[in-house]
Structure 1
Amino acid sequence: MKKSHLLRKGRISIANHYYSITLVADSRRCLFNDLSLNRLLINEMRRLEEEGACKSIVFIFMPDHIHWLFQLKTHLTLSRVIRAFKGRCSKLAREHSQIDKLWQPDYYDHMIRDESDLVNCARYIVANPLRSGLVKNVGSYPYWDCIYIK
């Protein structure tokens, strides 16, 4: 990612605040069309929740990137939570899918400002496969979840 070091500029971590994260696959390869790999990654999201690091609001696995909106819950910084997630997922990808490098080095983050921003961000994430033309109905897309939609 060109100029990825600029993504860290101004990054802050505040417990109980919401963050929208975008993680991109190495070389933008379409790695996240694989159900078995996606299940492993979702289990790691859940594991971080069980450990008290975060609470997932919505996530979606696009073919070459992941959008994840969560509430940071711990004394851990945002970068430590993402580092733990990416590291664990990279290890699983090597073991189960023989993928040498899963992620681009950095990530994009946006700290949610207020409830309106939270709702708009969640809608944006859920509508991603529609905007990219992958499906005509978001219910047809298999790789997402949102606590607001049951």
Structure 2
Amino acid sequence: MQYRRFYRQGSLYFFTVVTYQRRPILTHPDVMPVLKTALKTVRQKYPFKTEALVILPDHLHTIWQMPENDADFSTRWNQIKRYVSHHCKHYDNLAKTANEVKKRQSSIWQQRFWEHCIRNDEDFANCMDYIHFNPVKHGYVQAAKDWPFSTFHKYVKQGVYPEDWGGVSRDFDYE
């Protein structure tokens, strides 16, 4: 089966990228700086604007604004994944199938990623909320403000989100 992606120059895209076998490695102190450097390095050669980002142990979600004359997000993700795989070789140590070895697949990343072209302002707002609520959804924290690897904090400072958005108050009194 041939997978077909939807490429539209200058569009906003929501992405989900997952680690191989959902290994919880992305937030490790030796992987996180490499991932950040990969994003920065690739963005210098292949520009895009990160509108939102959350990094969880086994996956990340992000919204990118692609340049007006460019829609090639696949090359960007290929380069980001390659950079992390190259600089975090000590995590590329799981047994692979013969097909995975033949395709030179890393044991850091799932082979593909999921993309969604954002259609309108409501879709954009829904994707933003999904990204920023994701650590709460997965049970890592009780409130979005408590997850350090998220653009949520930037949007609180800008007044887009109130600080208490997206969570359960830890101070809830049952009496």
Q: TM-score, normalised by structure 1?
A: 0.84
Question: Could you say which structure has the higher strand fraction?
Answer: 1
Tell me the equivalent position of 1:141: 147
User: 15, 26, 29: which one pairs with 1:21?
Assistant: 15
The separation in 1 between residues aligned to 2:70 and 2:27, in whole angstroms, is: 33
Q: Is the 8 A contact 1:21 1:110 kept in 2?
A: yes
The separation in 2 between residues aligned to 1:48 and 1:80, in whole angstroms, is: 9
* Of 76-85 and 60-69, the range deviating more from structure 2: 76-85
Secondary structure at 2:70 match in 1: coil
The separation in 1 between residues aligned to 2:46 and 2:20, in whole angstroms, is: 28
| Structure having greater relative contact order (Cα 8 Å, sep ≥ 6) | 1
Question: Could you say which structure has the higher helix fraction?
Answer: 1
Within a 5 Å distance, the mapping from 1:63-74 to structure 2 comes to 63-73=57-67
The separation in 2 between residues aligned to 1:64 and 1:52, in whole angstroms, is: 25
- 1:93 corresponds to 2:88: yes
Structure 1, unaligned runs of 5 or more: none
Tell me the equivalent position of 1:54: 48
* Matched positions, count: 141
- 1:79 corresponds to 2:74: yes
Secondary structure at 2:116 match in 1: strand
How far the C-alpha of 1:108 sits from its partner, in A, is: 0.7
The separation in 2 between residues aligned to 1:79 and 1:138, in whole angstroms, is: 29
Secondary structure at 1:30 match in 2: coil
How far the C-alpha of 1:90 sits from its partner, in A, is: 1.1
User: 98, 103, 111: which one pairs with 1:105?
Assistant: 111
Structure 1 vs Structure 2: percent identity of aligned residues?
24
Sort the Cα spacing of 1:85 and 1:76 in 2 relative to 1 into closer, same or farther, 3 A.
Answer: farther
User: 21, 25, 30: which one pairs with 1:31?
Assistant: 25
How far the C-alpha of 1:149 sits from its partner, in A, is: 3.7
Q: TM-score, normalised by structure 2?
A: 0.73
The separation in 2 between residues aligned to 1:126 and 1:99, in whole angstroms, is: 27
The separation in 2 between residues aligned to 1:103 and 1:21, in whole angstroms, is: 14
